[in-house]
Amino acid sequence: MDFLPLFHKLQDRLVLVVGGGEVALRKARLLADAGATLRVVAPEVRGDLRELAGQGANQLLLRGYQAGDMEGVALIIAATDDEPLNARISEQAQALGIPVNVVDAPKLCSVIFPAIVDRSPLIVAVSSGGDAPVLARLIRAKIETWIPATYGQLAGLAKHFRAQVKGLLPDVQQRRVFWEDVFQGQIAESVFAGKLHEAERLLTQKVAGAIPQALGEVYLVGAGPGDPDLLTFRALRLMQQADVVLYDRLVAPAIIELCRRDAERIYVGKQRSAHSVPQDQINQRLVTLAKEGKRVLRLKGGDPFIFGRGGEEIEELAAQGIPFQVVPGITAASGCAAYAGIPLTHRDYAQSVRFVTGHLKDGSCDLPWAEFTASSQTLVFYMGLVGLPVICQQLIAHGRAASTPAALIQQGTTSNQRVFTGTLANLPELVAQHNVHAPTLVIVGEVVQLREKLAWFEGAQAEV
C-alpha cells in the first residue's frame, strides 16, 4: 500500500494553494467545501478563483510564491505549470513536515486527492495512488450508482442516535448487530423513500425496545423496455435486497438476473387471453407475502403505471395497510422509439403524442378512433401486434391518410430489436410476411419518416 487513506479535518484551518488556473480552482473549491481557509498565491488568478479567495477569512496574494507563504498552514497544494517551482514547494513542505500535494506529480506528493463520493456525513474515497486517476474516477462512478444520495440522510440519522445507542448497548457486538438491522431494514427504507419523520419515529421506538414486529413492504418497480442499462439506480438497489420477486413476461431475463441471487422468484406473467395468474390472485399474493414480513419486489416491464396494472395492485396494498414504494421505469414508448430513431414529438411533424392500449380489458379493440385523426399527433399503440390490421383499417376509415407513416418495433432496446416501417396501408401486410413476436410497439405519425435519418441502434436482426 503506497498511501494510507486518511480523512483530514480542515475546518477553519489554513491551506496554501499555489496557482491561479483551472486546476487550482478545482482544488480550492474542494477545500472550501471541507471548511478550509484558503491562502491563494499566484501572479495571475482567474476570476472565479479570485472571487472564491476573496470570501470570508480567505487570503489572495497576487504575486509569486515565497517560502514564508507556508507559515501556519496545515496543507499545501502546488498547482502551477512551473515544474521546478512545484518541486521546490514539495521539498520545502516536506522539510517542514507539512502535507503537500503537487497536481499530476505523484512522486512529489506526500498526500494525494482521491476520487470522492460525497454522501455527507458518509464519504467514500477511491485512489490509485496517482498512477491511474481516470480509473479511480470510473470506479467512483460505479460506486455512485450503488449508493443513493439519501445514504447521507441515513448516516445523519445514525449520528443523532449514536451516543444514546452506545449508552444503552455498551457491548461492541451488540451495537454492530443493532446498526446492521437499522441500515438494512424498514428504518433505512423509510429514509430512502423520503419518509424521514417515519424513520426517526421507528428508530426512537427501536432504541426504546418498543418497535413492533416488522411488516413487510412491496416495491413496485418498472424494469424498462428490456435493456438492463436503462434501469434506475433505485430500481437496482431494491432488486438486490428483495426477499421475493414476482415478475412479468415482459421483464427481460438479463434484468431478472440482477435480482438478489437467493431471492424467491415467482413468475406471474400474462399473455393476451392467457393469464398464468389472474390479477386478483397477484394482488392477494403481494398482500400475503408482505404480511409475512417479507420485502416483495413486483417487477414489471416498462413503467408500472402505463398499461402495467400497477394502480390496481397498489390500490389493494393501500386498502390492506401494506407499506409500498413505486419506482418508475422507462416506458416502452420512450425506450423503443428512442432506440428506433423515431422522436415521438418534433416541432415540424408532431406537437402531441398519445399512448393507446392495443386491446381493452374485454379483449376488444373498440377505441375512440375519431380522436386519433389529427396529423400532428403521434399515436403509440401498446400490445398492438394481433390487432394491427384492425388498428390500421380503423384509422384510415376515420380519416387518417392511408399514406401516414407507421412503424412496428419488436423487442425494442434489446439485441433482438427489429423495426418494420411502412404506412397505414401496407404495414400489416409487411409484418405478416415476417415471423414477428411480442412484445411489440406500433408508432403512427409523420415522425416515423425521421427514422431513416436518425436510426442509431441496430439489433442483431435485419430490419425492413
Is 146 inside any structural domain? no
Contact assessment for residue 380 and residue 368, using Cβ atoms and an 8 Å cutoff: no
Position 214 pLDDT exceeds 70:
no
Q: Which helix or strand (DSSP H or E) is residue 160 part of?
A: helix 151-168
Pair 192, 240 in one domain = no
Pair 241, 322 in one domain = yes
List Cβ neighbours of 368 (8 Å cut-off, separation of 6 or more).
Answer: none
Q: Which helix or strand (DSSP H or E) is residue 29 part of?
A: helix 22-33
Weakest mean pLDDT among 8-12, 300-304, 359-363: 359-363
Is 128 inside any structural domain? no
Quick one: angle between helices 172-184 and 151-168, nearest 10?
150
* 119 vs 360 pLDDT, higher one: 119
* 31 vs 308 pLDDT, higher one: 31
User: Between the CA of residue 139 and those of 27, 146, 240, 452, what are the distances in Å?
Assistant: 20, 11, 20, 38
Is 223 inside any structural domain? yes
48 is known to lie in a ligand binding site:
no
Say what the alpha-carbon torsion angle 183, 186, 191, 193 is, to the nearest 10 degrees. 130
Pair 107, 196 in one domain = no
Is 28 inside any structural domain? yes
Pair 362, 306 in one domain = no
332 is known to lie in a ligand binding site:
yes
CA angle 109, 23, 21 (to 5 degrees): 125
21 is known to lie in a ligand binding site:
no
Q: Say whether 248 is catalytic.
A: yes
Position 230 pLDDT exceeds 90:
yes
Is 438 inside any structural domain? yes
Strand bridging mode 100-102 / 405-410: unpaired
Pair 158, 245 in one domain = no
Which of 94, 113, 132 finishes a domain? Answer: 113
Q: Say whether 270 is catalytic.
A: yes
Nearest to 302 by CA among 240, 230, 355: 230
225 is known to lie in a ligand binding site:
yes
Pair 350, 407 in one domain = yes
Contact assessment for residue 242 and residue 295, using Cβ atoms and an 8 Å cutoff: yes
Pair 37, 107 in one domain = yes
Q: Which of 270, 280, 361, 453 is catalytic?
A: 270
Q: pLDDT band for 103, please (50, 70, 90 cuts).
A: very high
Pair 44, 93 in one domain = yes
Pair 298, 389 in one domain = no
Quick one: pLDDT at residue 153? Answer: 93
Nearest to 443 by CA among 366, 340, 351, 348: 340
335 is known to lie in a ligand binding site:
no
From first CA to last CA, the distance across the chain in angstroms is: 57
For residue 43, what is the domain's CATH number? 3.40.50.720
302 is known to lie in a ligand binding site:
yes
Which is it for the CA torsion 332, 337, 338, 340, positive or negative? positive
Which of 113, 136, 164 finishes a domain? Answer: 113
* pLDDT tens-digit readout, 173-191: 788 878 988 998 889 989 9
- What percentage of the chain has pLDDT greater than the value 70? 95
Which of 92, 113, 134 finishes a domain? Answer: 113
Quick one: pLDDT at residue 314? Answer: 94
For residue 249, what is the domain's CATH number? 3.40.1010.10
List Cβ neighbours of 349 (8 Å cut-off, separation of 6 or more).
Answer: 376, 445, 446, 447, 449, 450
Q: What would the grid cell of residue 93 be? A: 513542505
Q: What would the grid cell of residue 387 be? A: 390487432
Is 461 inside any structural domain? no
Position 67 pLDDT exceeds 60:
yes
Cβ neighbours, 10 Å, residue 220: 25
Q: Which of 27, 206, 248, 294 is catalytic?
A: 248
Pair 399, 354 in one domain = yes
Quick one: pLDDT at residue 133? Answer: 86
Is 144 inside any structural domain? no
Q: Residues 382-418, buried b or exposed e (16+ Cβ, 10 A)?
A: bbbbbbbebbbbbbbeeebeeebbbbbbbbbbbeebb
List Cβ neighbours of 109 (8 Å cut-off, separation of 6 or more).
Answer: 90, 100, 101, 102, 130
Mean pLDDT of 62-77: 96
Average pLDDT, the chain: 91
Structural domains in the chain (count)? 4
301 is known to lie in a ligand binding site:
yes
Collapsing DSSP to helix, strand or coil, 289 comes out as helix
Q: pLDDT band for 343, please (50, 70, 90 cuts).
A: very high
Pair 413, 376 in one domain = yes
For residue 343, what is the domain's CATH number? 3.30.950.10
Is 459 inside any structural domain? no
Note down the domain range covering 450: 339-454
User: Between the CA of residue 275 and those of 6, 249, 260, 280, what are the distances in Å?
Assistant: 57, 10, 26, 11
Contact assessment for residue 419 and residue 462, using Cβ atoms and an 8 Å cutoff: no
22 is known to lie in a ligand binding site:
yes
Position 323 pLDDT exceeds 60:
yes
Q: What would the grid cell of residue 43 be? A: 501572479
